């Protein structure tokens, strides 16, 4: 049996983590959409781990005139736990600065500031004269607690500079004729304090890599009921509602030996964004006066490790609390994993077609998948239950073309939930796992506990590694704002 298109949640879901909690919808520049962590599968880079943190959801390619710069008043972080205690041991901190060059035209004998981020002339290189706003960033690595640990600046391996340029978004083909080549000039080889091997880094706009059938999901899961026999076309039957969207990516490729602790190859990872506690709005902003003044302690407002957790696991009343919390405090959310509501929703909507919820409580299979890692796969030697991506860095990567989109449940141990690669179809995987797929494998439960465990649930929006590149930063060139056309979005998929 199969579900023609998947059952997610009819209310609070917006892709992997796009607008997933009430408060973060008001600050989209701090909204993390997806987090990836995997052994690099670019040829010759298999000793490295790639970390991708995506922010600023649902970017329309034509979204000018200001497009989608990062927030200079926010702190973006990628955290790594390498001893299983649910606390960060290594944190990469990104801060952004936007500099208005105030390009002007002489009009009737007067110099007048222009209104656009592009002031004429094709853009080809970093900090090009034709770009009216220069966006730069700095990166610090913190070892230990991010507030009290040792801190050092990430620097350019060639020049020693500690400030990096971020490419302007893909505003259009006339302004940036070769966006792929232009963006490639913003891939940096960097030195990380405490790491002997140079790393690679990129921050910039990419095509949104997440694939999901959103619209029908929101409409009370307005999809087909399970069929008696599986239809292979069901996995490709629905539209990817993010096919025409871009996103902003923070990408790091770091030697695995720099991230792991001695004796344990398993690491955990998650990304967060924080803003200052206080904001004073300026009633009269101008060239020398910012529209607001930020102050006070950093306050975390976005958190993302495993995909879909805050969407389909955490209850609506606790979504903001989850975004403000740390993995070390996840015991407060345990009931959402051990006694999940999503399977009951699927049964309520499709129980007559055979989609019965698992009966094993507590759901130890989900505890393994979401909170501890799976024993023998990606569970650390000592583990504190907490939600994060976990990656066993001793498992060799699968090359592009050899990856299985369903990851571990299809026999590919280099894929989700052992970390997460861009080509892992986490919607289909998560649906099958939450409905008892691991019980059919005797992982934390028995086949009899999951009446629907063998159903090949799908949302109908197909994803595999053909949608991504074979080299860092792995995500595709963003869709251009101009020229427009439906064919453009389809050609990029």
> Strand 199-207 and strand 155-156: pairing?
unpaired
Q: Which residues pair with 267 in a beta bridge?
A: 391
E strand or H helix at 310: helix 309-312
- In degrees and rounded to multiples of 5, residue 368 shows phi and psi of -65, -45
Please give the pLDDT value at position 233: 78
- Determine the pLDDT at residue 317: 92
The string of DSSP codes covering 46-89 is: TTEEEEEEEEEEEE-TT-TTTTTPPPTTEEEEEEEESSSSSS-S
* Residue 86, domain extent: 24-469
Q: Using DSSP, state whether 334 is helix, strand or coil.
A: helix
Q: What is the pLDDT of residues 385-403, one digit of tens each?
A: 999 999 999 999 999 999 9
Residue 18 forms part of a structural domain = no
pLDDT at 487 over 60: no
Q: What pLDDT is attached to residue 15?
A: 44
Coil, strand or helix at 243: coil
CA 153, CA 161: separation in Å to the nearest integer? Answer: 10
User: To which H or E segment does residue 490 belong?
Assistant: helix 486-492
Predicted pLDDT at 20: 67
14 pLDDT more than 50:
no
> Does some domain include residue 16?
no
Give yes or no for a contact between 203 and 251, defined as CB atoms under 8 angstroms apart.
yes
Task: Write the DSSP string, 405-469.
Answer: TTGGGGT-TTSTTBSB-TT--HHHHHHHHHTTHHHHTTSSS-GGG-TTTT-----S----GGGS-
Q: How many domains does the chain have?
A: 1
Q: Which segment of 9-18, 109-118, 359-368, 430-439 scores lowest on mean pLDDT?
A: 9-18
> What DSSP assignment string belongs to 452-483?
TTT-----S----GGGS-SSTT-SPPPPPSSS
Q: Read off the pLDDT of residues 90-132 as tens digits, 9 standing for 90 and up.
A: 999 999 999 999 999 999 999 999 998 888 778 888 988 889 9
pLDDT on residue 1: 34
Is the Cβ–Cβ distance between 478 and 179 less than 8 Å? Answer: yes
CA distances in angstroms from 184 to 126, 189, 203, listed in the order given: 10, 12, 11
Q: What's the angle, vertex CA 49, arms to CA 46 and CA 52, rounded to 5? A: 130
Query: What is the reported pLDDT for 155?
Result: 98
Query: What is the mean predicted confidence (pLDDT) over 447-476?
Result: 93
Supply the pLDDT for residue 40.
98
* Arithmetic mean of pLDDT, 188-200: 97
Q: Identify the bridge partners of residue 273 per DSSP, sorted by sequence position.
A: 76, 302
**pLDDT score at 388:** 97
Give domain status of residue 392, yes or no.
yes
Strand partners, 202: 251
**What is the radius of gyration, based on Cα positions, of the chain?**
23
Residue 413 inside a domain? The answer is: yes
90's CB contacts (< 8 A; 6+ apart) are: 79, 80, 82, 141, 142, 143, 259
CB atoms within 10 A of CB 370: 28
Burial of 490 (0-12, 13-18, 19+ CB in 10 A): exposed
| CA pair distance 459, 447, nearest whole angstrom | 23
Instruction: Dump pLDDT digits (tens) for 144-189.
Output: 887 777 999 999 999 999 999 999 999 999 999 999 999 999 999 9
Residue 229 pLDDT exceeds 60? no
Examine residue 415 and state whether it is found in any structural domain, yes or no.
yes
CA distance 451 to 456: 13
What is the predicted pLDDT for the residue at 42?
Answer: 98
Give a yes or no: residue 254 inside a domain.
yes
Q: What is the mean pLDDT of the chain?
A: 89
Compute the distance between CA of residue 41 and CA of residue 131 in angstroms, rounded to an integer. Answer: 34
Please report where in the chains the tokens 């606390």 appear, as a residue. 87
Confidence of residue 218 (pLDDT cuts 50, 70, 90): low
- Cα separation of 88 and 24, whole Å? 23
441 domain residue, yes or no: yes
Reported pTM: 0.93
Q: How far apart are CA 170 and CA 67, in angstroms?
A: 9
pLDDT band at 289 (very low <50, low <70, confident <90, very high): confident
The pLDDT value recorded for residue 458 is: 86
pLDDT 10s digits, 239-277: 888 899 999 999 999 999 999 999 999 999 999 999 999
Residue tagged 């600023």 (tokens): 56
> Of 459, 484, 473, which is closest to residue 211 (Cα–Cα)?
459
Is 481 within a domain? no
- CA angle at 437 for the pair 360 and 321, rounded to the nearest 5°: 70
Hey, what are 76's tokens?
């973006």
Give yes or no for residue 357 having a pLDDT over 50: yes
10 Å Cβ neighbour count for 353?
A: 18
State yes or no: pLDDT of 64 exceeds 50.
yes
Q: CA of 75: how far to CAs of 31, 32, 329, in Å?
A: 12, 12, 21
């Amino acid at each position: 049996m199969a579900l023609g298109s998947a059952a997610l949640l009819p209310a609070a879901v917006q892709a992997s983590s796009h607008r997933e909690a009430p408060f973060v919808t008001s600050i989209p520049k701090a909204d993390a959409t997806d987090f990836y962590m995997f052994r690099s599968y670019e040829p010759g880079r298999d000793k490295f781990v790639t970390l991708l943190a995506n922010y600023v959801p649902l970017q329309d390619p034509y979204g000018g005139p200001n497009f989608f710069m990062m927030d200079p008043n926010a702190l973006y972080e990628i955290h790594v736990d390498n001893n299983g205690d649910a606390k960060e041991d290594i944190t990469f901190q990104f801060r952004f600065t936007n500099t208005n060059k105030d390009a002007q035209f002489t009009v009737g004998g007067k110099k007048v500031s222009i209104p656009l981020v592009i002031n004429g002339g094709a853009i080809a290189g970093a900090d090009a004269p034709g770009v009216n706003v220069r966006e730069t960033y700095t990166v610090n690595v913190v070892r230990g607690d991010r507030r009290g640990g040792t801190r050092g600046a990430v620097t350019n391996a060639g020049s020693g500079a500690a400030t990096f340029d971020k490419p302007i978004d893909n505003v259009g083909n006339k302004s940036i004729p070769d966006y792929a080549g232009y963006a490639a000039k913003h891939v940096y080889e960097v030195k990380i304090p405490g790491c002997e091997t140079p790393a690679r880094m990129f921050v910039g706009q990419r095509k949104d890599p997440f694939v999901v059938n959103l619209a029908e999901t929101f409409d009370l899961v307005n999809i087909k009921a399970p069929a008696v026999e599986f239809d292979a076309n069901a996995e490709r039957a629905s539209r990817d509602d993010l096919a025409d969207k871009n996103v902003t990516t923070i990408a790091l490729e770091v030697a695995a030996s720099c991230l792991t602790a001695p004796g344990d190859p398993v690491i955990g990872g998650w990304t967060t964004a924080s803003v200052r506690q206080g904001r004073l709005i300026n009633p009269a902003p101008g060239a020398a006066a910012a529209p607001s003044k930020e102050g006070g302690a950093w306050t975390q407002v976005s958190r993302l490790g495993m995909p879909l957790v805050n969407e389909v696991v955490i209850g609506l009343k606790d979504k903001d609390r989850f975004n403000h919390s740390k993995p070390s405090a996840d015991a407060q959310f345990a009931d959402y994993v051990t006694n999940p509501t999503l399977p009951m929703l699927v049964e309520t909507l499709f129980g007559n077609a055979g989609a019965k919820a698992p009966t094993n409580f507590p759901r130890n299979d989900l505890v393994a998948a979401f909170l501890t890692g799976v024993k023998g796969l990606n569970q650390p030697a000592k583990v504190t239950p907490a939600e994060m991506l976990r990656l066993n860095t001793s498992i060799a990567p699968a090359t592009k073309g050899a990856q299985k989109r369903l990851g571990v449940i299809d026999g590919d141990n280099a894929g989700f939930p052992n970390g997460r690669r861009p080509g892992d179809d986490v919607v289909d995987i998560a649906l099958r796992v939450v409905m008892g797929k691991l019980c059919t494998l005797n992982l934390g439960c028995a086949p009899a506990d999951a009446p629907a465990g063998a159903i090949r649930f799908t949302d109908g929006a197909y994803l595999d590694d053909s949608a991504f590149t074979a080299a860092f930063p792995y995500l595709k060139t963003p869709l251009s704002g101009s020229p427009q056309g439906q064919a453009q979005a389809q050609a990029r998929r």
